Structure 1
């Protein structure tokens, strides 16, 4: 299939700049058509090209508008991998960022996560995956408890991972000139590929 994503127009940043701060309803409505054409539609085209290149990313959605100003100032897109497990992109005045996340999970998945982290084989595998992502510039965050959960030794070798109730891995890709080119598709596929071991770990051990 012929690629449809040509890059974000430079004017996309002009529109987002008008929506910065606390834009009034009048400003939002004045910018709506330009924002749709210059910001949201390119994200849809990008996600379609990414899905065409790899069927693993076919289940995606590109958010529309809402009452909060944040939704006008940021353009997210989400790829659902499994329940509570997703990849996402975000486009705003800072450029493009990528995230892999396991979050909003129910108690069953949280318990599966703890058992998998506590296990020497699977737990060490996740620790190695996350360490590799850190070396590639990803930040590892999430909802983290103050103490190691009940039933696990406070001196467990993966105590810090056991404290997580969510895991978010993010990396900003910036807003250089490549954002205005079709090369964004390959860049996104490359970074999604870097996150694939983490996604596979959660799909195997947690989000089953």
Structure 2
């Protein structure tokens, strides 16, 4: 892969791609998830990861909504895993706040783009399942099939058995098991990821998610609750 030098100052950048150093940084972090590693390589994180990502998001915001860059530090208060840092840098752009949007991440494996519905309350999961059980569910099923054919994988927390109130032989039982539903495209680290083509590939992926995001906006809506969905 051709290396691209990232400008040193964040906030005044034009996106030119993600350099190899971004993925190498996370390879090292996976091997040594420590404060010492982070401090020793912080300049690489700033110029090779955060800088290009911020520049890319600045260029994508007008079409896809306001961006939020996630903190690189893990919340370890309630986790048995006390590793202090996330092994990827993620960001979210919401077209419909609290319902659906677009996700982008950089890690040791390369670049990932995705989107869809991330549940924030049981009420959202309930409305999604009701819509899946209705004639509108056939449209979601078709959208999922189309996204898989386009190279997306379908993700999102789901129950292993049949959700309450539905028959185990329901024609859309696979969708009903989902508490939330997202579509992800893993680009990896091909040569173009270090060029401006990375922007057009992300745009293409996110535009393909437009119909499914619209479905969730229409049939799910924001949550009025706090907390994660239950079965």
1:188 maps to which residue? 202
Q: Structure 1 residue 43: deviation in Å?
A: 0.3
Asked if the contact 1:22/1:69 (under 8 Å) is kept, the reply is no
Q: Which residues in structure 2 correspond to 1:12-91 (within 5 Å)?
A: 12-52=22-62, 54=63, 57-67=64-74, 68-71=83-86, 73-81=87-95, 82-91=97-106
CA distance in 1 between counterparts of 2:56 and 2:200 reads 10
1:105 maps to which residue? 120
Equivalent residue for 2:133, pick from 118, 123, 139: 118
TM-score with structure 1 setting the length: 0.89
CA distance in 1 between counterparts of 2:27 and 2:123 reads 43
**Cα deviation 1:108-159 (Å, max 9, x = unaligned):** 2111111100002x10000000000111111112222233323223222112
Answering whether residue 176 of structure 2 is matched by residue 162 of structure 1, we say: yes
Q: Structure 1 residue 180: deviation in Å?
A: 0.9
CA 64–152 in structure 1, closer or farther in 2 if over 3 Å, else same: closer
SS in 2 for 1:19: helix
Equivalent residue for 1:6, pick from 5, 10, 16: 16
Asked if the contact 1:141/1:168 (under 8 Å) is kept, the reply is yes
1:135 maps to which residue? 149
Extract unaligned runs of 5+ from structure 1: none
CA 16–152 in structure 1, closer or farther in 2 if over 3 Å, else same: closer
2:5 maps to which residue? none
Q: Structure 1 residue 60: deviation in Å?
A: 1.0
Q: Structure 1 residue 70: deviation in Å?
A: 4.5
CA distance in 1 between counterparts of 2:217 and 2:43 reads 39
Task: Give runs of ≥4 in structure 1 deviating > 4 Å.
Answer: none
Q: Bigger shift: 15-24 or 39-48?
A: 15-24
Asked if the contact 1:105/1:166 (under 8 Å) is kept, the reply is no
Q: Structure 1 residue 69: deviation in Å?
A: 4.6
Extract unaligned runs of 5+ from structure 2: 1-12, 75-82, 223-231
CA distance in 1 between counterparts of 2:163 and 2:25 reads 46
TM-score with structure 2 setting the length: 0.80
CA 112–19 in structure 1, closer or farther in 2 if over 3 Å, else same: same
Answering whether residue 154 of structure 2 is matched by residue 147 of structure 1, we say: no
CA distance in 2 between counterparts of 1:27 and 1:142 reads 32
SS in 2 for 1:207: coil
CA distance in 1 between counterparts of 2:156 and 2:41 reads 34
How many matched pairs?
202
